[in-house]
């Protein structure tokens, strides 16, 4: 049994498992097999939106499970799920109860202590990330020179100017 | 003369599931749909309810798509 991952609500994913007989050799899952998703410690069994393919790619014993984890199929955020064989046999022996995988939906906070593999800088003010702006004159860039911002263009209408020493190309007339 | 055996293909056989909203399939390598059905019934039991049989087309990764 493995942890498949923490997915977003509405996501579709697939996982695989193998069924074996007592000798250890792979054997086809049979007996009208059913995979159910159990939310956390609830006894609710979700089956809608699950596709079980036995002998996937005609490989004996290999099973593929595809889950469409939407609200329409009964899935919720902030929840862990276990995929369990709730009906099925292998070489006429029941395998009900085997957990074949586990996943969660939006229930694992992202690790924000690293950004792109680098430790995040300590903020100057708690709650405000410390960032370095991409410097330049291209689209989406800000031209900074020694800590100042160059080429600032004011586009809003200015109604009052106080303590201005030079106003050029504005078309204003000072009374 | 024995007719030439066709190349085998992987068939996807859809079976009726006992679970609400669940799709149950089985992949089998067979020469034709009839043989595919027979193999599925042999593996899943003769009472298995087969809904459809089709040649399986493996999913294509978006990166590999033309």
> What is the distance of C-alpha A109 from the center of its chain?
10
Instruction: Enter the tokens of residue A15.
Output: 């996982």
- Nearest of A48, A92, A51 to residue A70 by alpha carbon: A48
Tell me the β-bridge partners of A61.
none
Whole-complex ipTM: 0.84
Do the beta carbons of residue A96 and residue A29 sit within 8 Å? Answer: no
pLDDT digits (tens, 9 = 90+) for B21-31: 999 999 999 99
Determine the length of chain B. Answer: 66
d(C-alpha B24, C-alpha B13), whole Å: 9
d(Cα A102, Cα B64) in Å, to the nearest integer?
29
> pTM of the full predicted structure?
0.74
Residues on B contacting A at a C-beta cutoff of 8 Å = 10, 12, 15, 17-29, 43-45, 48, 56, 58
Q: Return per-residue pLDDT of chain A as tens, 175 residues.
A: 689 999 999 999 999 999 999 999 999 999 999 999 999 999 999 999 999 999 999 999 999 999 999 999 999 999 999 999 999 999 999 999 999 999 999 999 877 787 778 888 888 888 888 877 788 888 878 887 777 887 777 766 666 666 766 666 555 555 5
* Residue in A99, A52, A77 with CA at minimum distance from that of residue B16: A52
The answer to whether residues A46 and A39 touch, using CB atoms and an 8 Å cutoff, is yes
pLDDT category of residue B2 using cuts at 50, 70 and 90 = very low
Residues of A in contact with B15 (CB under 8 A): 32
CB contact under 8 A, B21 and A55: no
With contacts defined as CB-CB under 8 Å, which chain A residues touch B25?
A: 51-54
Residue A175 has a pLDDT of: 55
């Amino acid at each position: 049994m493995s942890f498949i991952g923490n997915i977003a609500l509405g996501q579709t994913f697939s996982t695989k498992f193998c069924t074996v007989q007592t000798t250890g050799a792979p054997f086809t899952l049979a007996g009208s097999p059913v995979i159910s998703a159990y939310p956390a410690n609830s006894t609710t069994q979700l089956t809608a939106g699950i596709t079980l393919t036995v002998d996937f790619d005609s490989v004996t014993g290999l099973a593929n499970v595809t889950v469409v984890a939407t609200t329409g199929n009964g899935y919720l955020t902030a929840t862990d799920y276990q995929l369990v064989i709730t009906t099925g046999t292998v070489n006429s022996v029941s395998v009900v109860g085997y957990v074949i995988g586990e996943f969660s939906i939006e229930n694992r906070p992202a690790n924000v202590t690293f950004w792109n593999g680098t430790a995040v800088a300590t903020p100057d003010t708690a709650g405000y990330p410390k960032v370095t702006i991409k410097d330049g004159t291209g689209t989406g860039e800000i031209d900074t020179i020694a800590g100042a911002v160059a080429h600032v263009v004011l586009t809003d209408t200015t109604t009052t100017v106080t303590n201005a020493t030079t106003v050029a190309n504005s078309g204003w007339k000072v009374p | 003369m024995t007719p030439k055996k066709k190349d085998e293909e992987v068939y996807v056989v859809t079976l009726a599931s006992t679970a609400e909203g669940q799709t149950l399939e089985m992949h089998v390598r067979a020469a034709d749909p009839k043989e595919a059905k027979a193999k599925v019934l042999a593996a899943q039991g003769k009472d298995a309810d087969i809904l459809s049989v089709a040649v399986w087309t493996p999913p294509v990764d978006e990166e590999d798509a033309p």
